[in-house]
Each structure stands twice: as C-alpha cells, then as structure tokens.
Structure 1
Amino acid sequence: MPAPLTVMHLLPSLHSGGVEQVVLELGEGLSAQGVRNIVVSSGGSMVPKLKEQGSIHYARSIGKKSLFTLREVPRMKRLILKERPDILHLHSRVPAWVGYLAWKMIPADQRPGLVTTFHGFYSVNAYSKIMTRGQRIIAVSGCMRDHILEKYPRTPADIIRVIPNTIDPALDRYGYRPSDAWLREWHTMYPELAGKYTLCLPGRITRLKGHLDLIPILQGLREAGLPAHAVIVGEVKKGKTAYKEELVRAFDKAGLASCITWTGHRRDLRNVLCACDVTLSLTHVPESFGKTTLEALALGRPVAGYSHGGVGEQLNVFLPEGNVPPLDTAVMVDTLTQWYTYPPETPREIPPPYRREDMIRAHLDVYRELLPAIPEPEQKTT
C-alpha cells in the first residue's frame, strides 16, 4: 500500500487571521482526503482545532522578523528529513526564508516539492521576493497573479496557479439565519442596534481598513434621514491600541459616538454578518482577496466595497452594483441610500472556484504536479 501524500505547511502562528484560517481549512480538507498534513508554527489558539481535524503540529519560532530566527534553519532541515514531506508549502515571508534555506541544504534528490502562496500584497523588495522561489506559486486572486508578474517580472508565468480563498457552502449558504436564541442575545447585548440601518465593517483594527471613512459615510446617510449605525467587528492587536483611541476621539468629535458599536473579536462572525444590513469593505489599499466579503455574499447579504483588489474582483462577479470607486465616500453614501429602500439582489449560490471543495482539489492538483519533485525553476534573465 503506497504511503499517503505528506504536506508540511510553514506559517508564523495559529492565532487569528486570514492566512491562519486558510491553513486551518486546508488542514481539515486535506486530512479528509487522506493526506498526512503537518503544520509548523509558533502555536496559538487554533492549534487544538487543527489537531482535532487530523493534522500534526510542531511548535517552532519561525515567524519573528529577526536574524536570530535563521537559527531555526538547521532545526527545520532536521524536521524535514525526519518527516519526509512530499510537499513543503510556505505561507509567509519569514517562515519562507527558514523553510527555503533548509530546503536548499537538503540534497536535491531528497527535497520535497516547494510551493509558496502569495496571501497578500507584500512590500516589493528582496525580502518579499522569497515568495517567488516556489516550484509552484499560488496566488489567491487574479489581481494577485498580475501583481506578482508586474513586480517580479523574472517569475515564470507558467508556474503560477490562481486558487481563491473559499467559503464552505454547508455553512455559508443563502438563506442562513442565526438561531432565535442567538438573535435574542445579540439584541440584549447591543440594544442600540434596534431599528437601525446597520453597516458591518469587519477586520482587524488597523489604519488600512479605512475606519475613518465611516465618518463621511455615516454623516451623509444621517443627513439623508437614514438611521445608519456602524458595527465594527475586529480585534485590536498589540501595538494598535493608540489607533483605536484615535478612532474613538474622531468619532466623538464628529458627533457620531452613539452611531458606532465596537464588538471586538467575534467567533460567530457568520451570525453577525447576517444580523447586519450591509457589509462594507473600505480598505485604502487593495486586499489580495477579501474572505469576509465573500462569506457575506454567500450568505445573501449585500456588500459595498471599494473597487480594487480581490474585493473588487468578487463584486464584479457577484454584485457589480456594490463596487464603489476607491475612497469615494460620496458614491458609497449614494449606493447605501438606494439600498436602504431597494436592497440589491444577491447571488443565491456561490459557484466554482469559490467553494471549499474547489480549493482543496486545486491544491491537490498543484501538489501532484510536483510529484516527483521537479528542479527549482529558472528565473527569466530579461
């Protein structure tokens, strides 16, 4: 009986975040397909669930941006030789440096296939270029593929595969409704939302998410006589408390403090998206994908977002009228005002390649391309 396919993933940690969630979903899907799935990270709150789904976890300090992290390279080499993965999949830049240098130390005929994923629009420099060193490169959207080819023109186009992040149709489905008990608890916790036109802005509390754009948006909607109220869902990471305090002061100065609800991090985001009228994406720079907006669309909830990056791609496919010119809060106000009276028709089904099964199948196809592992790709000279 042949040994099962073994895949080893490297990422900084397993706390919260888009990359972590994708690795968790891959772990569940690959394990269900009989793959021996190994994840290496510094650990975090997601580890118990990862193990419960059938994956193996090794705790290694491979995510800190420090030259001292390179001391992990020999240990990583030993771990690769011990576990003998067929595929080494690198999901973030610092772990990618550790994994790639360890991979290079192994004799060529013993190396696993090497895969990297561009999960985000990293700064363009020699440090980020490590993500182009995979024998196969996964881009999470078409715009990410274009970004790679534009910023790293020596990257062979034929080794890039576009695999979008996805939703689970069994969970994120049109017509899903939170339980009555959950809704009662929600309204008890946030009574200020009763009778309001609720706008959900999910994501970590960072400047790039565009929270300050809520000021002209809420002001415009309220001037139009609409009972607009923003629901900000997301955690404040270490070092970002000053930014949240800045936001609180700005909302207060604008006279909008009573129009903002802060929920912090929520593990029941699916229910929160359903409980709000519209989900917003106000990022000031393009996002590589925009997983939460896809979840909202799959749930049949309207999404209005700036028309760039992965969110713009999604809206072009599923809800074109939700695309708003980047940073144009006046058009956003007009869109949301119209939707208050005439909500848009959202898609009743999310087709391939945006379903979880599509993502798992596509990754397996990429991994199989590298069995047996092929030589490291040559970078173009022009």
Structure 2
Amino acid sequence: MVAGKIVVAQVLPELQSGGVERDTLELAGYLAQRGHQSLVISGGGRLVARLEAGGSEHIEMNLGGKSPSSLAYIPPLRRLLRQRRVDILHLRSRMPAWIAYLAWKSLPADRRPHLVTTFHGFYSINRYSAIMTKGEKVIAVSRAIADHIRQHYQVPEQRIELIHDGVNTDTFHPGAVPPQRVAALKRQWQLPDAGPVIMLPGRITRLKGHDIFLQSLAQIKELPWQAICVGDTKDNPEYAGQLLQLTASLGLNQRVKFVGHCSEMPAALLLADLVVSATSTAAEAFGLTTVEAGAMGRAVVATAHGGSLETVLPSKTGWLVEPNNPTALAAALKEALSDADQRQKLGTAGREWINSNFTTARMCAKSLNLYQQLIR
C-alpha cells in the first residue's frame, strides 16, 4: 500500500457473463476510479476489454479448471502476490479460491495479503465449498446467504459481512437509454405489436425455471401477450433444444421467442411490460434480474425464495409466487397482465426501492470500506 492507495486482486474463473462477473467489474472500476490498483485474475472472456477500459489490469490464469493441472498455478500466483504487493486478495468462486488460498497460505504469515471471500450462492454443503469461509471477512450477498453461512458453516458472527449485491443505476436508468436503441432491439427481435411483453432474462439453465415459465404461459393463452427469453442458447444447447421442443408441444411457437445473448439489457428491459424470475430447483442468492428490472421501472414476478424475498416487496413492487408451481405463476401473470396501471405503479415504486437499497455504488463503497478496515 502506497500513500493510502491499496492493491486489490479479485479472483474468479472467467469473465464471460453473470452476476459474479458483473460484481467483479463494478468493484474493479470503482477501485480504479479512486486511484487504487485493481487486478483481476481469471481465465478471460468477453468482459476483459470492458474491465481494462475501466482502468483495471487483467491477469490471465485459468484457475477454474477442476483438474490437478490447476495446481501448477500456485507458484506463479504466489510470486504475483509478492511482486505486486497485493493488500487484499478477494476470492469469488470455489475452485479458483482453493488455488489462490493454497498460494496465499504458502507465503510467510507476515507477507500475506488480507483474505476476503464472497458467498455468491447457496453452495453445496461440503468441504469443497467450505473454502469460501476461509476469509478474514466472509461477504454474504443477501440475508438469505448470511443465514446459510451461519446455519451450515458456523462462521463466527463478527466475520460475516452483509453487503447486498446491486445494480449500476447510471446504466440501468430509463433516462440513460436512447429510444433508438430500444427500437433497434425491437426490430432485431422482430417483435410485433401484439400485446404486453413478458420477459424472462437469464442463463439457459434448469435453475432459471424456463420450463415452469413456459408451462405457466400455456395456462393463459386466452390473454394477449408475447414472451421473450433473453439468454445465450449456445451456452447450453442441449437444454435450449429441450426448451424449444417444450415451447412447440405447448403450442407457443408463435408467442415465445428465444432471442439469445443480449449486451443491451437496459434497452431490452424497456421493451418489457413485465419481468419474470422463475427460479425453481434452487433459490437465487440475490437475484439480479429482479433488481435490474426494478431499476428500469418494471414490475416483476418472482419466486418466493432466496434473495427475492429481500428485493421484491409483494403488492408494492411486484408479485411473489410459490417456486416450481406453474399454476401459481400463471395466476400472478394473469393478474399483472390485466391491469397496466397497477404494473406502472409497482414499477415506479420498485425503482425507488432499488435505488435506495440495492445499487452498485452502495456495494462498492461498503466493499472498499471493508478493505480499509482490514488494512488499518
């Protein structure tokens, strides 16, 4: 550390897409803007250019591979920590955390950076996942995750730090999106003017509940609507194929579109009249989808478990429904679609709620404050 400026190295598997990656980028940019040295160690990906444009340095190490060959990264990572005089080593994912922890542990105790870990999910409860409890401070991204850590890992209360995830409200702001960007997306996706747009953004995985969403839509065919699933089908082509087959078997081919990856999510959300988070088999640790939608003034329907219990206020900012229940989801969709004024009212309230409680500015400020407390 030089003249109050600190060196922070964040570690994760890759920089492709997802909530962990977005958190990493937001914090990296925040640190760089304030004159701190921000390093990110990952296997690379589509977000590296954006990271570097924000003033951070990317160091490519594929620490996420679950094979013995990953152990070869321990010596170069140890050298990096010493040569760059890293003050804070922040671990964000289990496999890279094991490699980084072993490199950190191999240093003399008085030469080790302060160790911080973040629980980004409801990890399986075993010794492998326990690596995420090794930090001097263990960050929980929601109260639900903090409870999970307490219940299953017996981490002392003073080591658990609640820092909610957040959304960048400079980017996710209705006024920041030029109308032509929205219009361009509408043309690209060939959206007709055929009723309210229901959007489910999220990776194409079973966790996200696309199947439950499609089954719920099949129960409200009599209403006017069109649905969009936003997420890269190439990431999971086998499951994407199954979803397309399900769409066809439910008679929804003319009303549901799978539009693939979208790098213009603020504009995409402005195309939606209603945003859905249908996670079914497991709860979201935080649920960035609902928070981004709220920041854009969109009412949401979400499953009532995990982080959504903290980010969605029933009857105030959206609807909460029983997980894994297509009929319950269909009932909420039907109610939401029947009243445009109510959707607008909930969306406006949701934007105020998100802007007051779940922003990246708050998340980053709290993270930097935590780092500085450790160093002092």
- The alpha-carbon deviation at position 134 of structure 1 amounts to 0.3
Q: Does 1:315 align with 2:319?
A: no
**CA deviation vs aligned residue, 1:105-149 (integer Å, no higher than 9, x gap):** 111111110000011111111111000000000111000000111
- The alpha-carbon deviation at position 332 of structure 1 amounts to 2.0
- The alpha-carbon deviation at position 182 of structure 1 amounts to 2.6
Alignment-derived partner of residue 246 in structure 1:
242
Which has the higher mean CA deviation after the structures are superposed, 228-237 or 105-114?
A: 228-237
Change in 2 beyond 3 A, CA 1:362/1:226: same
Whole-angstrom CA distance in 2 between matches of 1:211 and 1:108: 48
Residue pair 2:299, 2:318 contacting (<8 A) in 1 also = no
Q: Does 1:267 align with 2:287?
A: no
Residue pair 1:137, 1:161 contacting (<8 A) in 2 also = yes
Alignment of 1:1-382 (within 5 A): 2=3, 4-153=5-154, 155-173=155-173, 175-176=174-175, 178-222=177-221, 225-238=222-235, 240-284=236-280, 285-316=282-313, 319=316, 321-342=318-339, 343-344=342-343, 345=345, 346=347, 347=349, 348-349=351-352, 350-372=354-376
The one-letter amino acid of 1:357's match is A
Whole-angstrom CA distance in 2 between matches of 1:70 and 1:237: 30
Higher relative contact order (CA 8 A, sep 6+): 1
Whole-angstrom CA distance in 1 between matches of 2:97 and 2:76: 14
Whole-angstrom CA distance in 1 between matches of 2:176 and 2:328: 30
TM-score, normalization by structure 1: 0.91
Whole-angstrom CA distance in 2 between matches of 1:97 and 1:183: 43
Residue pair 2:117, 2:138 contacting (<8 A) in 1 also = yes
The one-letter amino acid of 2:37's match is R
TM-score, normalization by structure 2: 0.93
- The alignment partner of 1:231 has SS state of strand
Change in 2 beyond 3 A, CA 1:65/1:324: same
- The alignment partner of 1:9 has SS state of strand
- The alpha-carbon deviation at position 192 of structure 1 amounts to 4.3
**CA deviation vs aligned residue, 1:167-208 (integer Å, no higher than 9, x gap):** 2222223x4474332333233333343222221111111111
**CA deviation vs aligned residue, 1:241-296 (integer Å, no higher than 9, x gap):** 11111111111111111121111000001111110111101111100011121010
- The alignment partner of 2:270 has SS state of helix
Could you say what the CA RMSD is over the residues aligned between the two structures, in angstroms? 1.8
**CA deviation vs aligned residue, 1:307-353 (integer Å, no higher than 9, x gap):** 10112221138946511121232222222222223233232423444
Query: Which runs of 5 or more residues in structure 2 are unaligned?
Result: none
Whole-angstrom CA distance in 2 between matches of 1:320 and 1:233: 22
Which has the higher mean CA deviation after the structures are superposed, 304-313 or 324-333?
A: 324-333
Residue pair 1:279, 1:303 contacting (<8 A) in 2 also = yes
Residue pair 1:116, 1:134 contacting (<8 A) in 2 also = yes
Alignment-derived partner of residue 379 in structure 1:
none
- The alpha-carbon deviation at position 360 of structure 1 amounts to 1.3
Whole-angstrom CA distance in 2 between matches of 1:324 and 1:356: 27
- The alignment partner of 2:337 has SS state of helix
Residue pair 2:182, 2:268 contacting (<8 A) in 1 also = no
* Identical columns (%): 36
- The alignment partner of 1:370 has SS state of helix
Whole-angstrom CA distance in 1 between matches of 2:210 and 2:77: 40
Aligned residues between the structures:
367
- The alignment partner of 1:193 has SS state of coil
**CA deviation vs aligned residue, 1:191-239 (integer Å, no higher than 9, x gap):** 34322222111111111111111233112221xx31222200001354x
Whole-angstrom CA distance in 2 between matches of 1:26 and 1:318: 33
Residue pair 2:194, 2:225 contacting (<8 A) in 1 also = no
Which has the higher mean CA deviation after the structures are superposed, 7-16 or 326-335?
A: 326-335
Whole-angstrom CA distance in 2 between matches of 1:10 and 1:20: 10
Whole-angstrom CA distance in 1 between matches of 2:312 and 2:210: 20
Change in 2 beyond 3 A, CA 1:361/1:187: closer
- The alignment partner of 2:313 has SS state of helix
Whole-angstrom CA distance in 1 between matches of 2:4 and 2:177: 43
Query: Which runs of 5 or more residues in structure 1 are unaligned?
Result: 373-382
Whole-angstrom CA distance in 2 between matches of 1:10 and 1:318: 39
Residue pair 1:5, 1:36 contacting (<8 A) in 2 also = yes
- The alignment partner of 2:302 has SS state of strand
Residue pair 1:163, 1:359 contacting (<8 A) in 2 also = yes
Change in 2 beyond 3 A, CA 1:370/1:318: farther
Residue pair 1:31, 1:53 contacting (<8 A) in 2 also = yes
